[in-house]
Amino acid sequence: TKTGMCMSSVEAKTVSVSLGKKISDMVLARFLNHSSCDEEDEYDSPDLSSTELSTLMDSPEIHLLCALATNKSALPDLCASGGLEALSHVATQGELSAIMALQEVCKDDSDMVLQVNGHKSAMDVLLASPEKIQTKSSKNDVREVKSACFRLLVLISRGAKNGTKSIAQADKCSSCVDYASHVVCSLIEAPVPKAHTTVDEEVENETSGDEDDTDVWLPAPPPLTSESPTKSESEETENNEDEVISHKKTPPPKTIE
């Protein structure tokens, strides 16, 4: 997790059963205190400065919630005690462990994630500026978080009963589609780094590799057997037979007495 807090499966499950509801309520209270929205629109991300957001996300209850959420054995009990709604709020700020926990829940029941507006949390992160995302201020970290949000939307769309419809009807859906189109276009138009092999070079290498392997894969000639003598052996055999026959036909020279 973001805090490096580690717990065994037994410890995480015990804490989740005994303190899961209390931790979840504390996290929800944190976000509701910072939100200026009314109860009907409570899932909108609060507009906080970077300092306020950092203070909010560094609270111990959020650290503990994220630590429990990363443990698969503790996650079901955490969701049953209201932790899923709290995780959705934390995910809105771009916390990767919370987003991954929502993905894990989607594997069993995507409708639960849809009910706590997990799809809206993902959309908020996709449209947020990099400084608003709780990462290590690295481009790679931001890219990883936003990729996780795209995966979460796909899981909700495929798994939830009304997933696709809910995503399409969300206020920020159009903006997310525009952002996704921008990402795809930027990847297509991006130049190929010199360190990587181009497609033409790969094809050329594959072609040259095939040519080099041609001699290796040619079938070997059949082995020579006694039943199939070579031409030279046949000629030698015939010559020897002729010599024997000639010796037999030629009478021995007569001696003069």
Q: What whole-number distance in Å separates Cα of residue 66 and Cα of residue 1?
A: 7
The model's pLDDT over 47-57, given as tens digits with 9 standing for 90+, comes to 666 666 777 78
Q: How far apart are CA 199 and CA 12, in angstroms?
A: 48
For 256, the 3-state DSSP assignment is coil
Q: What is the pLDDT of residue 4?
A: 61
- pLDDT for 91 beyond 70: yes
Q: Which pLDDT band, with edges at 50, 70 and 90, does 129 fall under?
A: confident
**Mean pLDDT along residues 39-53:** 57
pLDDT at 219: 44
Taken as a whole, the chain contains a residue count of: 257
Residues 6+ away with beta carbon under 8 Å from 124: 44, 45, 92, 172
- What's the mean pLDDT in 48-73? 82
Mean pLDDT computed over every residue of the chain: 76
| CA 179 to chain CA centroid, nearest Å | 21
Nearest to 77 by CA among 26, 31, 9: 9
- What's the token pair of residue 219? 């079938």
Residue 158 has pLDDT above 80, yes or no: yes
Spatial distance between the Cα atoms of 106 and 101, rounded to a whole number of angstroms: 9
Q: How far apart are CA 211 and CA 47, in angstroms?
A: 63
Indicate the range of 132-136, 142-146, 232-236 predicted with least confidence: 232-236
User: How far, in Å, CA of 177 to CA of 161, rounded?
Assistant: 21
Cβ-based neighbours of 234, under 8 Å, separated by 6 or more: none
Q: Is residue 249 pLDDT above 80, yes or no?
A: no
CA of 133: how far to CAs of 93, 96, 130, 150, in Å? 6, 10, 5, 15
Question: Which tens digits make up the pLDDT trace of 214-246?
Answer: 443 444 444 555 444 454 555 555 555 555 455
Kindly report the number of other CB atoms within 10 A of residue 9's CB atom.
11
The mean pLDDT value for 91-120 works out to 93
Q: What percent of the chain has pLDDT over 90?
A: 41
